[in-house]
């Protein structure tokens, strides 16, 4: 059995393929660009503890490679396994031949045009996926030769045998996946970088890097806190959320959903990657400005999400009537607790 390792890392560079190289996201990147109005932290609780950086334990736990018994380790330029037009991964069934396919009635024919993932190859070996080839009027985009459709079983087996580590292996993902399924896996991977929730910011990062990003780009838009220690927030009710940064660099959002005509529904969500070693709970308490003896309180588990899309938690929240607020803000007492997942 052969094991193919894709040359994505720090090995000798592969021979460049024709066309633009695929852009891969291997870690936090991008300069912050904040354009819109963002939450303002009016009070701050700080800590000097250094945030933990995920990935260090993950590298030791699963490494970036996997030994295969009776296997052969080789390297291959991953771009050679991609469609030369759209740069998506080629997937079986793969077709090859020496003539134009006119349609047939043979039982063994695999020319079902509904299979959008099949691959086409001209006589000179130029390859394109089915969806791209369908736009080329059966002419090769490189040499203008006619398309052909004989199935190449040997090439299919090679493509199916190639497995690759996830691009986010250094951040904790230990999975080895079929190369053709790599894009789909990385799109849903729990260890993929998170998008900064601040409006207009294009930064993508990981837990362990948020402190530096917010200090450099959004220093006035974040409130730091210490777990299990209550802190007060003067929340501007016109804002959709307030960014809270834990002492271990986990990023939380105190979200505000205006429920007309009842009031404001407050809850806490955590922007998390695949590090599930911790579980979080929160407590929110609101006090009426006119009658301080009137108080509302909720205690619930924090909802996890990879990206803030404006969807508010429905499992638990604190509904605060408008009478508890003044015209622009409300004071909330917040506490977030962390416990290890057994």
Q: Are the CB atoms for 332 and 218 separated by under 8 Å? A: no
12 inside domain = no
**Residue 280 pLDDT greater than 50, yes or no:** yes
Contact 77, 5 (CB under 8 A): no
Residue 249 and residue 148 share a domain: no
User: Residue 260: its pLDDT value, please?
Assistant: 83
Task: Judge whether 330 and 264 are in contact, CB under 8 Å.
Answer: yes
Rg value, the chain, Cα: 26
Cβ neighbours of residue 156 under 8 Å, at least 6 residues apart?
Answer: 92, 93, 94
Q: Are residues 177 and 250 in the same domain?
A: no
Q: Are residues 218 and 334 in the same domain?
A: yes
CA pair distance 23, 81, nearest whole angstrom: 15
Q: What is the CATH number of the domain that holds 120?
A: 3.30.40
Is the Cβ–Cβ distance between 34 and 218 less than 8 Å? yes
* One domain for residues 184 and 254: no
Domain boundary among 134, 165, 188: 188
What three-state secondary structure class fits 130? helix
Chain position carrying tokens 């490189």? 142
**At 56, is the secondary structure helix, strand, or coil?**
helix
Query: Pick the residue with more confidence: 102 or 275?
Result: 275
- Please tell me which residue, 340 or 298, carries the higher pLDDT value: 298
Same domain, 250 and 316: yes
pLDDT at 231 over 90: yes
Domain region containing 328 = 56-62+191-340
Which whole number is the average pLDDT over 321-340? 90
Is 279 found in the same domain as 228? yes
CB count within 10 Å of CB 292 equals 8
Place of tokens 């024709």: 18
What integer is the mean pLDDT of 25-53? 41
Among 66-75, 138-147, 154-163, the range scoring the smallest mean pLDDT is 66-75
The residues, ordered by sequence, that sit 6+ positions from 243 with a Cβ below 8 Å of its Cβ are 39, 41, 197, 198, 214, 218, 221, 222, 223, 251, 252, 253
206 and 231, same domain (yes or no): yes
Same-domain check for residues 184 and 318:
no
Rounded CA-CA distance 3/186 in Å is 20
| Portion of the chain with pLDDT greater than 70, in percent | 60
Q: Does a structural domain hold residue 43?
A: no
Residue 26 lies in a domain: no
Q: Do 153 and 119 touch, CB atoms closer than 8 A?
A: no
Instruction: Pull the structure tokens for residue 213.
Output: 């990003």
Greatest Cα pair distance in the chain:
86
Q: Other C-beta atoms within 10 Å of 317: how many?
A: 21
What percent of the chain has a predicted confidence (pLDDT) above 90? 19
Q: What was the pLDDT predicted at 294? A: 92
- Tell me, yes or no, whether 22 lies in a domain: no
pLDDT for position 236: 92
Q: What does the alpha-carbon distance between residue 235 and residue 51 come to, in Å, rounded to a whole number? A: 26
Check whether residue 81 and residue 176 sit in a common domain.
yes
pLDDT band at 161; cut points 50, 70, 90: confident
Q: So what's the pLDDT on residue 283?
A: 97
Mean pLDDT of 321-333: 89
* Tally of structural domains, the chain: 2
Nearest to 82 by CA among 139, 20, 137: 20
Poorest-pLDDT segment among 119-123, 192-196, 231-235, 242-246? 119-123
- Which residues lie closer than 8 Å to 5 by C-beta, 6 or more apart? 65, 73, 74, 75, 76, 164
Of the candidates 205, 193, 163, 167, the residue with the CA atom closest to the CA atom of residue 181: 163
| Contact status, residue 199 vs residue 34, Cβ threshold 8 Å | yes
Q: At 64, is the secondary structure helix, strand, or coil?
A: coil
Q: Which of 151, 168, 188 is the last residue of a domain?
A: 188
Give per-residue pLDDT as tens, 78-99. Answer: 777 777 778 777 776 665 544 4
Q: Given a cut of 60, is residue 60 above it in pLDDT?
A: no
**In a shared domain, residues 157 and 246:** no
pLDDT exceeds 60 at position 133: yes
pLDDT band at 121 (very low <50, low <70, confident <90, very high): low
Residue at a domain's end among 163, 188, 213? 188
- Taking the C-alpha atoms of residue 22 and residue 13, their distance in angstroms, rounded to an integer, is 15
Domain annotation covers residue 313: yes
Contact 73, 161 (CB under 8 A): no
Residues 171 and 254 in one domain: no
Is residue 51 one of the residues assigned to a domain?
A: no
Question: Who wins on pLDDT, 170 or 282?
Answer: 282
User: Alpha carbon of 274 to those of 22, 243, 249, 292: distances in Å?
Assistant: 24, 20, 14, 42
- What is the Cα–Cα distance from 302 to 281, expressed in whole angstroms? 5
Residue 31: closest CA among 265, 202, 277: 202
Whether 212 and 73 share a structural domain: no
- Kindly report, residue by residue over 174-227, the tens digit of the pLDDT: 888 887 788 888 877 877 888 888 888 888 887 777 888 888 888 888 899 999
Question: Which pLDDT score is estimated for 55?
Answer: 41
Residues in the chain: 342
Q: What pLDDT shows up at residue 118?
A: 52
Quickly state the pLDDT bin for 62 (edges 50, 70, 90): low
CATH of residue 288? 2.60.210.10
Indicate whether 32 belongs to any domain: no
Q: Is residue 119 part of a domain?
A: yes
């Amino acid at each position: 059995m052969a094991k193919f390792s894709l040359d994505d890392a720090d090995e000798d560079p592969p021979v460049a393929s024709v066309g633009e190289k695929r852009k891969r996201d291997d870690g936090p990147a991008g300069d912050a660009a904040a354009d819109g109005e963002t939450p303002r932290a009016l009070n701050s609780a700080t800590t000097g503890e250094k945030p933990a950086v995920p990935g260090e334990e993950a590298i030791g736990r699963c490494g970036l490679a996997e030994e295969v018994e009776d296997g052969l380790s080789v390297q291959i330029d991953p771009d050679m396994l991609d469609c030369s037009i759209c740069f998506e991964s080629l997937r079986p069934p793969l077709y090859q031949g020496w003539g134009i396919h006119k349609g047939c009635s043979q039982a063994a024919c695999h020319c079902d045009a509904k299979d959008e993932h099949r691959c086409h190859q001209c006589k000179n070996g130029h390859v394109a996926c089915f969806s791209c080839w369908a736009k080329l009027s059966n002419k090769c985009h490189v040499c203008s030769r006619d398309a052909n459709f004989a199935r190449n079983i040997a090439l299919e087996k090679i493509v199916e045998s190639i497995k690759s580590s996830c691009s986010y292996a250094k951040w904790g993902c230990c999975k080895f996946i079929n190369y053709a399924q790599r894009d789909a896996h990385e799109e849903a991977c729990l260890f993929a970088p998170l998008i900064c929730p601040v409006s207009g910011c294009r930064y993508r990062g990981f837990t362990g890097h948020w402190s530096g990003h917010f200090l450099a780009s959004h220093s006035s838009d974040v409130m730091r806190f210490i777990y299990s220690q209550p802190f007060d927030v003067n929340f501007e009710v016109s804002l959709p959320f307030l960014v809270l940064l834990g002492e271990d660099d986990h990023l939380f959002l105190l979200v505000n959903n205006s429920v007309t005509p009842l009031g404001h529904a407050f809850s806490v969500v955590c922007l998390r990657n695949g590090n599930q070693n911790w579980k979080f709970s929160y407590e929110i308490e609101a006090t009426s400005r006119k009658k301080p003896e009137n108080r509302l309180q909720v205690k619930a588990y924090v909802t996890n999400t990879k990206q803030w899309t404006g969807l508010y938690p429905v499992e638990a929240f604190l509904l605060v009537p408008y009478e508890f607020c003044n015209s622009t803000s409300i004071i909330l007492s917040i506490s977030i607790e962390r416990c290890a997942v057994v």
